[in-house]
A and B are shown apart, each in its own frame.
Chain A
Amino acid sequence: SQQGEEDPQALSIQEGENATMNCSYKTSINNLQWYRQNSGRGLVHLILIRSNEREKHSGRLRVTLDTSKKSSSLLITASRAADTASYFCAPSNSGGSNYKLTFGKGTLLTVNP
């Protein structure tokens, strides 16, 4: 399994603004997932994008994937205070017995009311 690296480590914005966080990885992947973690809680799956997809939307979330640059971005539009959380990416090259996901240290997003 390989680890994604999220950037920036921390991001602080005002409610209503858009938030963009990035993820870079090192080797080829089959898919990449984004997760959210509210303080002191477990992770929640947000979205999965496959290597043959370039963009995916889910509500206010937009994820892009650029396999040539080995990077992905997560855009949250019209942010709300409830979006305050840590966000993690998890790239994977599934197959065989490779069941593992490796999570990075995440981006801590703070949305100020």
Chain B
Amino acid sequence: DVKVTQSSRYLVKRTGEKVFLECVQDMDHENMFWYRQDPGLGLRLIYFSYDVKMKEKGDIPEGYSVSREKKERFSLILESASTNQTSMYLCASSFLSVETQYFGPGTRLLVL
């Protein structure tokens, strides 16, 4: 079975802190994705990566950056956390383009 893990289930940070969210997949998938999910807004794509060191902006990249140094790991970075980044963050990976995506359990981030 594909396994996608995220470094934390819950995280509390202060405004202005630099925050790292880590995602690891064990199926040698080329594609990895970061979403955020907010009530009433559904899932929104922040960034995705289709290969090591490759990245593309999603629909809401502002305030975020990503890093993909190894195929299995995709990191989401909040350079200076703000309260409006309080959200549920979901990581996903997939093998082929736009085929099945496998999701991690999510990280619920609270920025105070």
Contact = CB atoms under 8 A, between A and B. Distances in A.
Interface of A: 1, 30-31, 33, 35, 40-45, 48, 88, 92, 94-95, 97-106
B41 interface: yes
B108 A43 contact: no
A98 B96 CA distance: 11
B48 interface: yes
Contact of A99 (B48, B105, B106): B48
A87 to B, nearest CB: 12
Main SS class of interface, A: loop
Contacts of B92: 42-43
Interface string B86-101: 0010101010111111
Contacts of B64: none
16 contacts: A1-B98, A40-B108, A42-B90, A42-B106, A43-B90, A43-B101, A45-B102, A88-B42, A88-B43, A97-B56, A98-B97, A100-B33, A100-B45, A100-B48, A100-B58, A101-B98
A95 B42 CA distance: 25
A100 B88 CA distance: 19
Interface of B: 4, 31, 33, 35, 40-43, 45, 48, 50, 56, 58-59, 88, 90, 92, 94, 96-106, 108
Contacts of A48: 99-100
A33 B100 contact: yes
B42 A41 contact: no
A99 B50 CA distance: 8
Nearest to A104: B42
B104 A99 contact: no
Given A100-B48, A103-B42, A103-B43, A42 B105 contact: yes
Contacts of A105: 40-42
A92 B98 contact: yes
Contacts of B45: 100, 102
Nearest to B104: A42
Contacts of B33: 100
Contacts of A92: 98
